[in-house]
Chain A
């Protein structure tokens, strides 16, 4: 066991799989000699060389098409979209092409492609770098969308994504890259895609969230605990498919829920979580499901993020409102 930041755990996952499987290729803009703009691919070019870890010209759609073609030559591409705000350039190659390959070929072809990308607010990036666009991809049949909240999960989920025989969008919240370290095993291990994690047990209310909001919600839960309110905290880890079983079981116990997302409210993941709760455990609820999300403006950049992003206070207020219904 070593202490790793989330970005070190991500690099370690890629290194592990590059060593394990000669078909794994890592490519994108600036990923080779430069080791990625966040250093996520640091050292990989030196260890595995140009054949396995290589730069692409600056064109996201081309990167997605390249991944599909390489997948058809039995490679296992790990492509990087430098910032997730740039993903619209690759929307066709990801959502219309990679996601549909298995279906269009009647199951003959498949795309074992991992699409890694940094995203998320709070680190004061320029405009169109940080946007929470995960909901768009959760709506695309044929894609899985994974968002780790800590170094341990990041390594295990990324290895699982690379080994998955279908395309997986792997979103790395920039605020979590270097914010804390934790014990991460040096060997290969996987965290199952599609399984949520109960971060904290509690009896009064279930807080369901993912990504950087897990840390924020945990702080809120600790604060609320001091007031005698015990929150159960669920980290979804995968937002598509959703682990509806873990969500439903928790609500059967707590009878109340608050769903938290960093993304704008309109048509987000929280809406889907609430709909699933209504479908499965509506009669177990003692109050309407609460929701914390960002306002429906465009994703702001730099200093404007400070007033816009959902925070600990928003979560505490919503939990109290849901409890006092």
Chain B
């Protein structure tokens, strides 16, 4: 059935918030049903992700990692939405969405290999339903619709989750994906993480629309805006969108209002050129880890020890993953050529022989 929007845009796209900055529940009715173990696990993952991000930045500065897009500030938006996914659901991330990939089952050392540009970093375990991080802004959205339509045709109880940023909503692919998914009622969840800047361009210069969530209206699908620093709101929105799709009602666009504390990527971006420290400080006060920690401590289900344990685990795992990545053999030109076609074409075969002979000499 078509989604019914009548009334004011603001009424439909007011921000879903469940947990305020002091860790108080402000919307008891919308509070998702989660066990204490689930709440603790979500907090553990967010802490782990923050520590891992800090380690990744420092490894990048040491030249031990390659391409890396920082995630601090976006932990609730990333980790809590992935938390709503089923193991069998498909994940289509952008290049920043490495945490979701890891929590969905990508071994950490593979994420590091991807960062370094090693093809083994894109060779996923068979049980992991995910597509490699997308570089072209918005391209993963149309692929998500294809996967979702395939899941529907196969009558599977799985959903395709797609992640992109605020900048992607200016792309044709973003709209094409939602529009196709709406027409086919494909079981997809599109998550737009609005961190306010597409590299340097503020969201106000991407669109004249009041919200990004309302762009769902044009495609005739569900749209919802959530406080992206509130893990409970993000989880509730993602869970509801998943249930909606699973029930055969089609896709949802979720806009999460969030912020990245760091630069766009570690390849020379300087955020002081386009945003003020005051703005960043203001967002840091709403930090997702702080408010979730306060909430869990009040419930008596999170302690300093838990925090230290999660942090130590992250550091330990990063060290191990780095060692494992270092141990993967260097790639050869013949590996690259060998992954072009099922059976090498004549030109590729000739080049495999040529480079193979040279690689043989080097041994």
Contact = CB atoms under 8 A, between A and B. Distances in A.
A137 B65 CA distance: 34
A62 B145 contact: yes
A39 interface: no
Contacts of A43: none
A197 B145 CA distance: 40
Given A102-B340, A144-B345, A73 B154 contact: yes
Interface stretch (A90-98, A251-259, A283-291, A295-303): A90-98
Given A73-B154, A165-B342, A66 B180 contact: yes
A20 interface: no
A62 B340 contact: no
A194 B346 contact: yes
B150 A62 contact: no
Given A62-B177, A92-B136, A105-B124, A241 B346 contact: yes
Contacts of B141: 65
A65 B341 contact: no
A241 B339 contact: no
B246 interface: no
B3 interface: no
Contact of A69 (B144, B172, B176, B342): B144
Contacts of B200: none
A108 B173 contact: no
A227 interface: no
Contacts of A75: 150, 153
Contacts of A72: 90, 131, 143, 146-147, 150
A242 interface: yes
A69 B146 contact: yes
A258 B180 CA distance: 47
A70 B150 contact: yes
A110 interface: yes
A66 B183 CA distance: 13
A109 B146 CA distance: 15
Contacts of B146: 65-73
Interface string B151-173: 10110000010000000000011
Given A56-B180, A61-B173, A69 B142 contact: yes
B179 A57 contact: yes
Contact of B336 (A56, A92, A103, A164): A103
A311 B136 CA distance: 42
Contacts of A187: none
A244 interface: yes
A242 B139 contact: no
Name the residue among B176, B177, B339 with the largest chain A CB count within 10 angstroms: B176
Contacts of A97: 136, 139, 143
B180 to A, nearest CB: 5
Nearest to A142: B340
A191 B50 CA distance: 56
Contacts of A62: 142, 145, 173, 176-177, 179-180
Interface in A43-92: 51, 56-57, 59, 61-62, 64-75, 92
Name the residue among B143, B179, B339 with the largest chain A CB count within 10 angstroms: B143
A104 B347 CA distance: 20
Nearest to A238: B345
Contact of A107 (B90, B145, B338, B348): B338
B5 interface: no
Contact of B149 (A69, A105, A141): A69
B67 interface: no
Contact of B345 (A59, A74, A241): A241
Nearest to B153: A51
A88 to B, nearest CB: 12
Contacts of A69: 142-150, 160
A242 B347 contact: yes
Contacts of B123: 105-108
A75 B147 CA distance: 10
17 contacts: A57-B180, A57-B183, A61-B142, A65-B177, A66-B143, A66-B180, A69-B147, A72-B146, A72-B150, A73-B154, A103-B339, A104-B119, A106-B123, A106-B339, A107-B123, A108-B122, A243-B346
Interface of B: 90, 119-124, 126, 131-132, 136, 139, 141-151, 153-154, 160, 172-173, 176-177, 179-180, 183, 336, 338-342, 345-348
